[in-house]
Structure 1
Amino acid sequence: MLSNRCSSGQPPWQMKTLARAMVEEERPNPVVQRVKVIMSAGLLLVHGITRWSLSLTMNTATLSDSAAAFNSSADPHVIVRCSPTYEQQSYEHLMKKYEDQEVPLPERLLNAGLDHVVFMVMLVALIIKYVLFESQGHLEEHLIHDSLLPPNNESSLHGKVVSTSSTLRRRTRSCTVSMNSSWEDSAASCVEQLDISTQTESLDTVVEDWRDDESAEGPPRSLEDCIAVMNSEPGVKSLTNQEIIHLVEKKHIPSYKLENVLGDPVRAVYIRRKVVAPHTTDRCSMDGLPYDHYDYTKVMGVCCENVIGYAPVPVGVVGPIMVNGKKFMVPMATTEGCLVASTNRGCRALVNGVKSEVIRDGMTRAPSVRLPTAVRAMEVYSWMHKKESFAVIKEAFNSTSRFARLQDLRTGIAGRLLYTRFVAQTGDAMGMNMVSKGTEAALAAVKKVFPDLEILSVSGNYCVDKKPSAINWIEGRGKSVVCEAVIPGKVVMTTLKTSVAALVEANVTKNLVGSSLAGSIGGNNAHAANIVAAIYIACGQDPAQVVGSSNCMTLMEAWGENKEDLHMTVTMPSLEVGTVGGGTNLSPQSACLKMLGVKDSVHGHAYLKTHSYILTSEEEQMNPRHLVPSLGLI
């Protein structure tokens, strides 16, 4: 039937116009349809019982009279034939005999002919098909369709009705609509299932229309016609995908503005993929890159531009781990095999838990400014470090944010160039944008006193951001964290498969001597960057800041009266993390933060301590290869 739909949700033969007309003109009442089927089934049932009764009565009477004639014969050798007159007896006589010799219903059913059995099977099959399948689906669609449509805007929303109806048919198979509940309640219970955090709200309600454009009849309109439509009241949204692609290729619509122009992020991503595909080395290269079922509204203007999809990354979990008496399950997003498994084993070894503390908290930004002479630069340097001057700078800085609070100034001079490192607390946000905004306000206050001060760059790489640096290693950036743990010697032997003495020796020769010989800055660890990167990706942090955040020093020593246990510390001076802002607002990353119980503005320090704890669990496994051949971590 034309009113039915194929598995993809599209009308057969792509006759969208005809399907919409039929939906508009034929909207059967589900109650009337059900009554019709019940009445038809009742008539068929009455007809079948009547035929059964007559046939069974004649057969029963014939058999009874034949038996009586046979028993009345005096001669046992006499063969008595049944008289043909039995078939000519009146209906009333047969009914009387049938009433005298009532046959049970099960026996009548067993004596039924093949045609009656086939008839009953077909009848039961039709009833089951309607009640359990077809009727339920049509009833759900009708109830939800009517409840979602405003009563006065039915005709104006005709274009959306078909798409919504088709979508709800696919998405509400798990909903149970009861005839005893109101239509509004049934529709509301089904619509609630559409509120999925990883999907845009308007995705499935418009997806059918604009994805059918390529199969629509007729060639695209000319460039002039498309421009006229774009500038008219319907706007770009009324154009087909091919026409919009043509406008983008001719530079009439900037590709990066598609989301704002169309008002539909998913359609914008779809069209951008079509525009980009011909310029790639393989036109089908993006077929494996998903783009559907994602909430791009949280990406726009915050996380990414010119979006063509998203890259799913496997997320593992380690734990439970105990930090300062509280247990955590920690997500790690990685494509490196064995990383999660080895880290999880390290968590098992930390049976006594870990104690962790935040040493410092201060995000930095260091602008570069220039003065006419080196002497003038020294004058600015001296003025900025006076107590009264610092108060003026701090007031201007703090006025830009409710959370950013200036703590300190560190200034370096190179000739007539001045680099001032602003250090500020930023709450639970990573805070680089916050500090940059405050720095601009502070420089404006300084410039009022020194008009000849020339601002060259808000960031002069004295911060230092996303680059290896000694100043971050020494003075710290972001949050500075230290943690310690004591591992019993028995656990070292049974879980880590090595000895305390071997671990201490390996740590000195590898993490201390080896890294120093290589001239590494902040690299006195086994592979801290692996753990930091995995947690950063899972929790929506900036992966580029793994460069500074993986600065880590791992120290080990024999512990206890008999030196049988292992005392271990991990110090991380420049953890650049946050639990609010940026990628933490994306649904998958937000879910990972919720796993840690830090998705709000009061638990940022707990998140930092979890980082250092996980590093402790992995660093303890940097055993010599000959001691732990299965790890392969060296």
Structure 2
Amino acid sequence: MTVTAGPDTALDAAAVPLRWVGPLRISGNVTTTETEVPLATYESPLWPSVGRGAKISRLTEDGIRATLVDERMTRSVLVEAADAGAAYEAARAVHARMDELRVVTRRSSRFAELLALRHEVTGPLLFLRFEFSTGDASGHNMATLAADALLAHLLATVPGISYGSISANYCTDKKATAVNGILGRGKNVIAEILVPRQMVAERLHTTAAAIARLNTHKNLVGTLLAGGIRSANAHFANMLLAFYLATGQDAANIVEGSQGITLVEDRDGDLYFSCTLPNLIVGSVGNGKGLDFVDANLRRLGCQEDRPVGDNARRLAVLAAATVLCGELSLLAAQTNPGELMKAHTRFERTPLERPGPERHNGDSDAH
């Protein structure tokens, strides 16, 4: 993988090691598939760790079940009024114009559709949060373009308001907040797997009870004590960043993307393991997708096929969620055994990284 910022950029300074891991077996309401996934990272233990989870997915009957439950991109704008009463009346007037606002949205893009509108009034300030469908794009620019047109229309048609900002932080973009998990931003995907008792013992070297106990104590109680915001997981960000870099995504979106919940249950010795990712912001088209290595990776993932609008991005989202589950499962299993985590890091991180290439990990390693 090589990213070049300009003619004076040194290739060595712009290269991130990338390997294909898997394949992962996935089923669900978006796709049923078995595919390898690309991970671009300097943290070399991540490849065998995700590989171990991928191997588990291939050994179970249904593999990883990935369910997409919602999708939308948001942009909030700010307008100002004389006082709270005027701001509230303006909010009512805006909601009454939803039909015309949908028309204005469609004029801004072939793919943008206005799904919903929410508001908050704080003193004389009126925050408007527009929610859009954006096809196969992650939708940042599409949503902002539509919001710009909507804001101009409202300033011209709603009395008593003036311009505040085209971006009002109630979206919320690339910040750790609660609103995205509550109202939705990006793709909301739940990945889950049921691992038989014998496989937990033989492949993960632990028990369902031990992983469930660790998840409660570490991910739930530990995160609560740390003051986490709608998030209780071990390391979603690791897998997401590696996947985002390999597929041309805006990497800063791991801030909200890594806000998610790992839920584990001991079901009579079998292990139920799920990762809920409510803020996955991914796209199969748009900025960053024109690079040769990104285009090749997306094609290999089956995310540039001739499908109905939005389906390629949905496939990409469930592949990302399944990848997160593989790495999360492997890490938590490792952390139930004293010394295993550090042993894996020492083994892999003290070996110099090879130059980026087509190598892959087949998931047979027992490293975390």
TM-score by length of 2: 0.85
Q: Does 1:360 align with 2:70?
A: yes
Between the two proteins, what is the percent identity of the paired residues? 35
Alignment deviations for residues 197-226 of structure 1 (CA, whole Å, 9 cap, x no partner): x99xxxxxxxxxxxxxxxxxxxxxxxxxxx
Cα distance in 1 for residues equivalent to 2:154 and 2:46: 50
Partner of 1:573: 278
Shift of 1:624: 6.0
Shift of 1:627: 1.2
Partner of 1:322: 25
Alignment of 1:238-277 (within 5 A): 269-270=6-7, 273=8
Alignment of 1:379-528 (within 5 A): 379-386=89-96, 389-528=97-236
Partner of 2:320: 611
Shift of 1:290: 2.5
Alignment deviations for residues 202-258 of structure 1 (CA, whole Å, 9 cap, x no partner): xxxxxxxxxxxxxxxxxxxxxxxxxxxxxxxxxxxxxxxxxxxxxxxxxxxxxxxxx
Structure 1 unaligned runs (5+)? Answer: 1-197, 200-264, 274-285, 292-309
Shift of 1:628: 5.8
Shift of 1:452: 3.8
Cα distance in 1 for residues equivalent to 2:303 and 2:216: 35
1:348 to 44, 49, 55: 55
Shift of 1:626: 5.6
Cα distance in 2 for residues equivalent to 1:332 and 1:625: 22
Cα distance in 1 for residues equivalent to 2:110 and 2:289: 20
Cα distance in 1 for residues equivalent to 2:339 and 2:21: 22
Could you say what secondary structure the match of 2:108 adopts? coil
Alignment deviations for residues 256-296 of structure 1 (CA, whole Å, 9 cap, x no partner): xxxxxxxxx99xx55xx4xxxxxxxxxxxx7xx229xxxxx
1:290 to 3, 6, 11: 11
Would you say how many aligned residue pairs link Structure 1 and Structure 2?
Answer: 331
Cα distance in 2 for residues equivalent to 1:589 and 1:624: 32
Partner of 2:354: none
Q: Does 1:595 align with 2:305?
A: no
Select between 529-538 and 352-361 the one with higher mean Cα deviation.
352-361
Root-mean-square deviation (CA, aligned residues, Å) is 2.1
Shift of 1:451: 4.4
Instruction: Say if 1:569 and 1:626 are closer, same or farther in 2 by CA, change over 3 A.
Output: closer
Check the 8 A contact 1:394/1:442 in 2, yes or no.
no
Could you say what secondary structure the match of 1:395 adopts? helix
Give the letter for the 1:608 counterpart. A
Cα distance in 2 for residues equivalent to 1:482 and 1:624: 23
Could you say what secondary structure the match of 1:462 adopts? coil
Check the 8 A contact 1:478/1:577 in 2, yes or no.
yes
Alignment of 1:558-569 (within 5 A): 558-559=266-267, 563-569=268-274
Could you say what secondary structure the match of 2:115 adopts? strand
Q: Does 1:332 align with 2:12?
A: no
Select between 506-515 and 469-478 the one with higher mean Cα deviation.
469-478
Cα distance in 2 for residues equivalent to 1:479 and 1:290: 33
Instruction: Say if 1:557 and 1:620 are closer, same or farther in 2 by CA, change over 3 A.
Output: same
TM-score by length of 1: 0.50
Partner of 1:311: 14
Select between 410-419 and 317-326 the one with higher mean Cα deviation.
317-326
Structure 2 unaligned runs (5+)? Answer: 346-367
Could you say what secondary structure the match of 1:366 adopts? strand
Bigger radius of gyration, 1 or 2?
A: 1
Check the 8 A contact 1:392/1:445 in 2, yes or no.
no
Cα distance in 2 for residues equivalent to 1:514 and 1:474: 22
Could you say what secondary structure the match of 1:584 adopts? coil
Cα distance in 2 for residues equivalent to 1:528 and 1:469: 16
Shift of 1:370: 0.6
Check the 8 A contact 2:214/2:336 in 1, yes or no.
no
